[in-house]
Amino acid sequence: MTKILKDEDLVGGALMSIAIDALEAAFLAKACNRLISPPRHHVSFPDRGDLVFTVGGLMGEKPIAGFRVYDTFNGAEHTQIVAVWSADDAKLEGVILGERLGSLRTGAIGGLAIRHLGAPDARNIGIIGSGAQARTQLAAAAAVRNLDRARVYSRDETNRAAFASEMQQALGLDVEPVDSVSKAVDDADIVICATTSQTPVVHAGDLKPGVHVTTVGPKTLQGYELGLDVADAAAVIATDSLEQARAYASPFFLTGSGNDDRMADLADIIAGKAAGRRSSEEITLFCSVGLAGTEVVVASAILRSPALVLRGTSG
């Protein structure tokens, strides 16, 4: 019986923790070369756009394999498909349709970075941006740290107010909209930058010692949301995929800054193969690129979760 889940099935507070724990196992597997994550495969349809496939899998005792596909056609509705097989018995475990899994996955990777890089006693978080990525990054942070308060800034006052009331409700956390970047990040132990800005909106001078910063938005030399001085100030710079960061069409934003070579693989930090935070004063920086193949890992964990099975269409 193949389970089929859609966006409306991917609800509930347990989901983010399930995703983060599944990704922790995947990143540990990556550190010992058991995560399968080949380059994306694009197929073009003339004048229409592409289908883009990212295949992924976890090898080991209970191997899983699968893929995500998304389209770049011209339209308002975009439905991704993620499918997962158990690779030892060829069983198709399930299919997840929609957009929610992708942002859940990216958020969960951010949460994993905070779990391993952020100060253990982080209480305050500042968020720049009020879109879907900002939402899942905040939810992920709340899943790994005992937060007291969040402050959100985005240029549009209505958007940041809506973000604050929605996330306060969803997370049971005090979320305050503020009217400047500095008000959002001044006192923050964790800063999430999740904008579409092509010019830096957060600079090192805005940040307090010991902060963990995640950049989710633009980060190529063509445009980047985070000041280069934040990388200069960071004791640890990590990413979820060195390969993908170095394969961007425009070079990665740290290229030529002297900090590019310091960038570590989050997987190696989690596995203890590379150094992470060493003091409560150090600044840590996580550059989120969206490690390919990890949607499959998250999908598998969700499909196997007893809490969610009953909601999906079985047949």
- Out of 61, 76, 146, 310, which residue is the one contacting its own copies (CB under 8 A)? 76
Report the residue number, 60 or 223, with the smaller CB distance to its own copies: 60
The 3-class secondary structure across 120-187, one letter per residue, is CCCCEEEEECCCHHHHHHHHHHHHHCCCCEEEEECCCHHHHHHHHHHHHHHHCCEEEECCCHHHHHCC
Report the residue number, 67 or 253, with the smaller CB distance to its own copies: 67
Cβ 294 to its own copies shortest distance, Å: 15
Cβ 89 to its own copies shortest distance, Å: 4
Contact residues for 308 (Cβ-Cβ < 8 A; gap 6+): 5, 9, 10, 12, 15, 302
Q: Which residues pair with 51 in a beta bridge?
A: 43, 71
Determine the interface stretch with its own copies among 69-77, 119-127, 157-165, 166-174 (rule: CB under 8 A).
69-77
Cα torsion 22, 173, 159, 189: sign = negative
Which residues ranging from 237 to 296 are in contact with its own copies (CB under 8 A)?
Answer: none
CA distances from 147 to 9, 107, 123 (A): 27, 16, 4
Contact call for residue 41 and its own copies (CB under 8 A): yes
Output the six-digit token pair for 128: 């720049």
Q: How many residues sit in the footprint of its own copies (CB under 8 A)? A: 44
x-marked contacts with its own copies along 83-102 as a string, rule CB under 8 A = x-x-xxxxxx--x-x-----
Report the residue number, 55 or 101, with the smaller CB distance to its own copies: 55
Contact call for residue 161 and its own copies (CB under 8 A): no
Report the residue number, 63 or 290, with the smaller CB distance to its own copies: 63
Q: Cβ–Cβ contacts within 10 Å for residue 11, how many?
A: 11
Contact call for residue 61 and its own copies (CB under 8 A): no
Determine the interface stretch with its own copies among 18-26, 55-63, 147-155, 177-185 (rule: CB under 8 A).
55-63
Query: Which amino acid belongs to residue 303?
Result: L
Determine the interface stretch with its own copies among 56-64, 155-163, 197-205, 228-236 (rule: CB under 8 A).
56-64
Report the residue number, 66 or 227, with the smaller CB distance to its own copies: 66
Determine the interface stretch with its own copies among 36-44, 166-174, 197-205, 279-287 (rule: CB under 8 A).
36-44
Contact residues for 119 (Cβ-Cβ < 8 A; gap 6+): 189, 190, 210, 212, 277, 280
- Out of 46, 61, 261, 279, which residue is the one contacting its own copies (CB under 8 A)? 46
Number of H-type helices and E-type strands within the chain: 10, 17
Element (H, E) at 19: helix 14-31
Contact call for residue 36 and its own copies (CB under 8 A): yes
Structural contact between residues 109 and 133, judged by C-beta atoms closer than 8 angstroms: no
Residues in contact with its own copies by the rule CB under 8 A: 2, 4, 6, 8, 36, 38, 41, 43, 45-49, 51, 53, 55, 57, 59, 63, 65-67, 69, 71, 73-79, 81, 83, 85, 87-92, 95, 97, 313, 315
